[in-house]
Structure 1
Amino acid sequence: MNHYLKRFAKNMDYPLLITYILLCLFGLVMIYSASMVWAVERYGFEPDHFYRKQILNLTLAVPAFLIGAIIPYKHYKRKGMMISMLVVMFALLFAVHIIGYDAGGAKSWIHLGFANLQPSEVAKIIIVLYFAAVFANKYDKGMIDNINYSIGPPLAVLVLALFSIMLETDIGTSIIIFFTAISVMAASGIKFRTFAKMSGVLFAIMAAISPFLYLFHDKILTERRLGRLEAFLNPFEHAQDLGFQVVNGYIAIGSGGLTGLGLGQSIQKLGYLPEPQTDFIMAIIAEELGLLGVAIVIGGLGFIVLRAMYIALASKDPQGRMIAAGFGSMIGFQTFVNLGGLTGLIPLTGVPLPFISYGGTSVILLSFAVGILMNVSMFVRYENSK
C-alpha cells in the first residue's frame, strides 16, 4: 500500500493539481463576494448561504477528483463499463423530461431530495469517455479509417443525446458536447480525409433531423430564448427588460478597469445583476478585481486546457490521448461559451464558468474529469520513467 501511494505521489501532475485547487478556491471566494447581497435580498438567506453550499459541493468534488485520478482510465474501454455508462446517461436524459424541473428557462434538473442533478453535465463526461473508448478499440483493431465500420454506433449515441438535451432547451451544453465529440474524433488518429467525411456525415445527420426539431420549435425556441437572441442583437434597446442582464454585465466589466473597485466593492451585485454567482460571475470579478482578476481566471483555465493538450500529445496510448484532448476541449469550449455570452460574442446560454461559478453538478463532474485527466498524465509519466 505504501509503495502504491509513493508511486502515486511521484507521478502526480502537480502543476495541474495546483491550478485546479487554486481555481476552485478562487471561485469560492468570488461566490461569497458575488452572492452575499443577492442571497439576502432575493431569497432571504444568510449572506454566506451560497458560499456554504459551495463548500459542501467542493467536499463532494474532492472525492470525485480522487476517484477519477485513482481508477485506471483504461477501465472505461471495457465493454461492460461502456454499456453501463450509456445506460446511466440515457436513463438520466430520459428521466429529466418526466420528473425534471425548470430552472433558468430550461427543464434540465432532477431533484434528488438531498441535491439537484443536471443530466446534461453527466452526458458531457460520458460522451468523452465513450467516444475515446470506441475509437481506441477501433484503432487497436486497425479499423479506425474504415468509415463504414466506425461511423454508426458512436454518432447515433451522440445524435440521440444531443436531441434529448436540445429538447431540454439546454442549447449551450448541446454546443459544447457537439464540438467536444468532434475534438475527440480529431485526436483519434484517423486520417484527415476520414475525419472530414465523418464530420460531414455528422453535420448531415444534424441537418436531416432539423425538420423533426421544428416539430418542437415552440419548446426549443421559447419566449425566453428568443428574448436572449433579441438581447444579443440589440442589448441597449432592451436595457430594461430582455437586455437587462447583458447591459449590467457590460457596466460591471467597464467599471473595473485595470485593477478593479476592490474585493467586495461591486455595485452591480447589489440587485442590478440577477444571480451574479452563476454564469455572470466573471462580470463581478472584472468589476472588483479588474483586468488583472480576469487574466488570473483565464490564465488558470487556459493552463488546464493547454496542459490537457500537452498530455494528449505526450500519450502514446490512443485512448489516453483522446480522453485528454476531449476533456481539455470540453473545458475550453465551456469557457468560451460562458465568456462569449458575457461579452456579447454569442447569445447567452446560461453555461457556468468552469470551477468558478456556483453549482454542485458542474464542479463535481468537472473535478471528476480533471481527476481522469490526472490519471492519464500519471500513466504518461510512469511510462516515460520506464
Structure 2
Amino acid sequence: MRKYLAYYVRNFDYPLFFTYVFLCLFGLVMIYSAGMWVAIVNKDQGPDFYYNKQLLNLCVAGVAFIVGAFFPYKHYSNKKLMVALLGIMLVLLFWVWNFGVGAEQSGSQSWIDLGIMNFQPSEFAKLFIILYFAGAFYRKSLKNSMENLGPNNIIYPILVWLLVIFCVANETDLGAVMIISGIAIAVVAASGIQFKKFMKFFAVLGGFGSALIGLILLVKGEEILTQNRVGRIKAFLNPFEYETGSSYQVINGYIAIGSGGLEGVGLGQSIQKLGYLPEPQTDFIMAIIAEELGILGVIIVLGGLGFIVLRALTIALKTKDPLARMIAAGIGSWIAVQTFINLGGLSGLIPLTGVTLPFISYGGTSILLLSFAMGILVNISMYVKLEKRRSKGESL
C-alpha cells in the first residue's frame, strides 16, 4: 500500500491539481460576493446561503475528484461499463421529460429535484460522450488501425450521439447541445482518424444532427422557441434596442464589465449584483468578477482555465495511448467550449444560453462532474509521466 501511494505522490500532476483547487476556491469567494443580495432578498436567507451550498458541493466534488484520480482510466474502455452508463444516463434524461424542473420563463426543464439538491442530467451527458466515444474508437483501433476505419465502424457512436442529443434537446438545453457536439468532434479529431474520413464523419454528424434538430423544432417548436429565447436572439442582434426588455441582463453585464476598469471597484462592492443582474452567481458571475476585481481578476480566471485546457491538450499530445489521448482531448475541449459559450454570451459574441462558467459559477452538478473529469485527467497525466519514466529506464 505504501509503495502504491508513493507511486501516486511521485507522478501526481501538482500544477494541474492546484490550478483546479484555486479556481474552485476563487469561485467560492465570488459566489459569496455575487449571491449575497439574491440570497437575502429573493431567498429570504442569510448572505452566505449560496456560499454554504457551494461549499457542500465542493466537498462532494472533492470525493469525485479523488475517485477519478485513483480509478485507472483504462477501465473506461470496458464495453459493459459504457453500456451501464448509457442506461443510467437515458433513465435520467427520460426522467427529466416527465418529472424535470426548470425555469418556466425560458421553457427549460433540465433538472431532477433530489430534495437536497437539483441534478442536471445534461452535465452527465457531456462526460459520458467523452468516455463513450473514446472507449468505442479505442476498441475499434484494437481491431483495425484508425486509418482503416470505415463508415460501418462509426455508425453506432453516431447513433448514440444522436440519441443523447435528442434527449438533451428535448429538455431544450441548447447550450448543452452545443457543448456535447463540440466534445464529440474533438474526441473524433484526437482519435487519429484520417482527415478525409474525419471530414466525412463531421459531415454525417452535422447532417444527422441538423435533421434531428429540425425534427425537434417541428415537433416542439413552440416549446423551444419561447418568447424568452426569441428575445435573446433579438438581444444578440441589437442589444441596445431592447435594453429594458430581453437585453436587460446583457446591458447590465456590459455596465458591470465597464465599471470595473483595470483594478475593479473592490471585492464585495459590486452595484450590478444589487438586483440589476438576475442570478449573478451563475452564468453572469464573470461580469461581477470584472466589476469587483477588474481586468486583473478576469485575467486570473482566464489564465487558470486556459492553463487547464492547454494542460489537457498537452497531455493528449504527449501520450502514446489513443484512449488517454481521446479522453484528455475531450475533457480539454469540454472546458474550452463551455468557457467560450459562457463568455461569448456575456460579451455579446453569441446569444445567451445560460451555460455556467467552469469551476467558478454556482452549481452542484457542474462542479461535481467537472471535478470527476479533472480527476480522470490527473490519472491520465500520471500515466503519461509513467510512460516517460519507462522510456528513460527510470524507476517508477
TM-score (norm 1): 0.98
Separation (CA, whole Å) in 1 of partners of 2:190 and 2:88: 25
Q: Partner letter of residue 119 of structure 2? A: L
Distance 1:342 1:50 in 2: 22
The answer as to whether partners of 2:338 and 2:355 remain within 8 angstroms in 1 is: yes
Q: Which consecutive residues of structure 1, in runs of 5 or more, have no partner in the other structure? A: none
Which residue in 2 is equivalent to 1:79?
Answer: 79
Query: How far apart in 2 are the matches of 1:211 and 1:273?
Result: 33
Deviations 1:196-232 (A, max 9, x none): 1111111111233344222211122112111111111
Q: CA deviation at 1:147?
A: 2.2
Equivalent residue runs for 1:104-253 within 5 Å: 105=106, 106-144=108-146, 145-213=148-216, 214-253=218-257
Separation in 2, partners of 1:208, 1:358: 34
2:304 pairs with 1:286:
no
- For 1:322, the equivalent position in structure 2 comes to 326
Please identify, of 214-223 and 173-182, the stretch whose mean Cα deviation from structure 2 is larger. Answer: 214-223
Shift of 1:168: 1.0
Q: For the residues of structure 1 that align with 2:135 and 2:101, how far apart are their CA atoms?
A: 33
Deviation digits for residues 301-348 of structure 1 (CA, Å, limit 9, x no counterpart): 000000000000011100000000000000000000000000000000
* 8 Å contact from structure 2 (residues 27, 361) kept in 1: yes
Deviation of 1:116 after TM superposition, in Å, equals: 1.0
Give the 3-state SS of the residue equivalent to 2:263 in structure 1. coil
> What's the CA shift for 1:143?
5.0
Q: CA deviation at 1:238?
A: 1.3
Separation (CA, whole Å) in 2 of partners of 1:160 and 1:230: 30
In 1: Cα distance, 2:125 partner to 2:41 partner: 35
Is 1:380 matched up with 2:374?
no
How many residues align structurally? 386
Percent of aligned pairs with the same amino acid:
58
Question: 1:60, 1:143 → 2: CA distance?
Answer: 40
Cα distance in 2 for partners of 1:369, 1:181 equals 16
Whole-angstrom distance in 2 between the partners of 1:164 and 1:113: 23
Which residue number in structure 1 is paired with residue 394 of structure 2? none
Deviations 1:168-207 (A, max 9, x none): 1110010000011000000001110110111111111123
Return 104-113 or 257-266, whichever deviates more.
104-113
Q: Secondary structure at the match of 1:74?
A: helix
SS at match of 2:360: coil
Deviates more, 1:204-213 or 1:77-86: 204-213
Aligned residue number for residue 312 of structure 2: 308
Kept in 1: contact 2:79–2:135 (CA 8 A): no
Query: Which residue of 340, 343, 354 corresponds with 1:336?
Result: 340
Paired amino acid for 1:255: S
Give, in whole Å, the separation in 1 of the partners of 2:344 and 2:241: 20
Letter in 1 for 2:7: R
Code of the residue aligned with 1:175 in structure 2: it is M
Higher mean displacement: 216-225 or 68-77: 216-225
Q: Distance in 2 between matches of 1:17 and 1:3?
A: 21
Moved over 4 A (4+): none
CA drift of 1:164 comes to 1.3
Question: What amino acid is aligned across from residue 327 of structure 1 in structure 2?
Answer: I
Amino acid corresponding to residue 385 of structure 1 in structure 2: R
Mean CA deviation greater in 138-147 or 243-252: 138-147
Mapped contact 1:167–1:219 kept (Cα < 8 A): no
| Residue identity matched to 2:15 | P
How many angstroms apart in 2 are the aligned matches of 1:210 and 1:7? 48
- The residue that corresponds to 2:299 in the other structure is 295
Whole-angstrom distance in 1 between the partners of 2:239 and 2:62:
39
Per-residue Cα deviation, 1:67-88 (whole angstroms, up to 9, x for no partner):
0001101101112111111111
Partner of 2:393: none
